[in-house]
Amino acid sequence: MKLREQTGGLLPWSVQAMEKPLHFLFVMEDEAGAITLMIVSLWCLGSWPALFNLLERRGRVPMHTYLDYTFSNYSVALLFALTVGNIGPDTPQSPNFLKQLSQENGPSVAFGLAGGLALCLGNICLQYSLAFVGISLTEVVSASVAVVLGTTANYFLDDGLNRASILFPGVACFLVAVVLGSFCHASNVADMQTKIKAAEPLSQMLEDMKSPMKGSEEFTALLVNSSNNHEASFSPLFNVATNDQFHLLKPDREGRHIAIVAGLLCGVGNGFQFMGGQAAGYAAADAVQALPLVGTLWGVFLFKEYHGSSRKTYILLIGMLLMFLTAVVMLVASSMPRHGSETLT
């Protein structure tokens, strides 16, 4: 029974019976609606790393940030399962999410768990990459690899559902974008180095630090004794640092709301990506992996990552963004609605 029929055809989606388990019962039918979900997902998935980067710059402990993010991300996933996954009548052909938990669908659960594990490990690596190289380059490299491998795999898994003549040129645009992004990052680093004043030679600093008591037996004995005392103090101090026996540490609640918002954005983005992919093909839904299109804008306007760079850097940056925009348009244009054999009516 379709929700569309009950509401006078006002909604672009319907509740349908599914042939395979672990799919959303709330299926997007309208191609324009699927594209809308992809665009919203692109913004969400491109924005949450910027919040991670913001908290890292404020000095918040990365592990605390990730725990808060994970909590809110899991909450959104659970909300999708209990709402989107339970819409419509519970029938043997179309069981809801809670009913599926008791069914024999081990292989599907295993694949889902493997995908979640890969996503978590990738997000952890992404969090630390943001601290080392910034949001712009991190998202360029990670998103491009995800699109090249993921889109190709999804195209064949969906039996060529998307238009290959549009899809794969769009993937090529991602590759061009990552090359431009690499050159842009290198050019930006060179621009920053030209602004840094040369430090004094290390040899001069070492010369100034030479001890006037070199060769003195008394001074040597003092150094040895001091070294022993420091070595003996290391383990107790490390114990206090890790276990906080004296309750000196303050609760790390600063920025928790930002980390929770990051998890919410990631969860909503993932959910919309899956729903859009179910309607228009997961290869086209990989357009949301154009995270640098959003993340770089955050980097430019929020973190001033390219502030004061040379004209060459700005040209490369604009070229990279244009290639990502072209790739998104081409991947979305390759989308095609699934046939009736794949989603029953």
Beta-carbon contacts of residue 131 (< 8 Å; ≥ 6 apart)? 56, 62
- Report yes or no: 70 and 7 within 8 Å, Cβ to Cβ: no
Q: Which two tokens stand for residue 153?
A: 């795999």
Instruction: Specify the pLDDT at position 246.
Output: 63
The pLDDT averaged over each successive group of 10 residues in the chain (345 residues) is 38 40 55 86 88 85 87 92 76 73 76 83 77 70 77 86 89 86 83 67 52 49 48 51 60 81 91 84 80 83 84 91 90 77 39
Beta-carbon contacts of residue 73 (< 8 Å; ≥ 6 apart)? 263, 264, 266, 267
Q: Which two tokens stand for residue 312?
A: 């060459």
CB atoms closer than 10 angstroms to residue 240: 12
Q: Collapsing DSSP states into helix, strand and coil, what is residue 59?
A: coil
263 CA to centre of own chain:
10
Instruction: Specify the pLDDT at position 4.
Output: 38
Instruction: Specify the pLDDT at position 3.
Output: 37
Instruction: Specify the pLDDT at position 53.
Output: 82
Instruction: Specify the pLDDT at position 89.
Output: 65
Rounded to 5 degrees, what are φ and ψ at 198? -65, 130
Instruction: Specify the pLDDT at position 326.
Output: 93
User: Residue 26 has what DSSP assignment?
Assistant: E
Q: Which two tokens stand for residue 267?
A: 């969860």
- Report yes or no: 135 and 298 within 8 Å, Cβ to Cβ: yes
Q: Which two tokens stand for residue 345?
A: 């009516």
Instruction: Specify the pLDDT at position 101.
Output: 77
Instruction: Specify the pLDDT at position 122.
Output: 80
CB atoms closer than 10 angstroms to residue 12: 15
Instruction: Specify the pLDDT at position 28.
Output: 66
| Stated pTM of the model | 0.69
Q: How far apart are CA 107 and CA 109, in angstroms?
A: 5
Q: Which two tokens stand for residue 183?
A: 């050159």
Distances (CA, A) of 107 to 99, 230, 343: 17, 56, 20
Q: Collapsing DSSP states into helix, strand and coil, what is residue 282?
A: helix
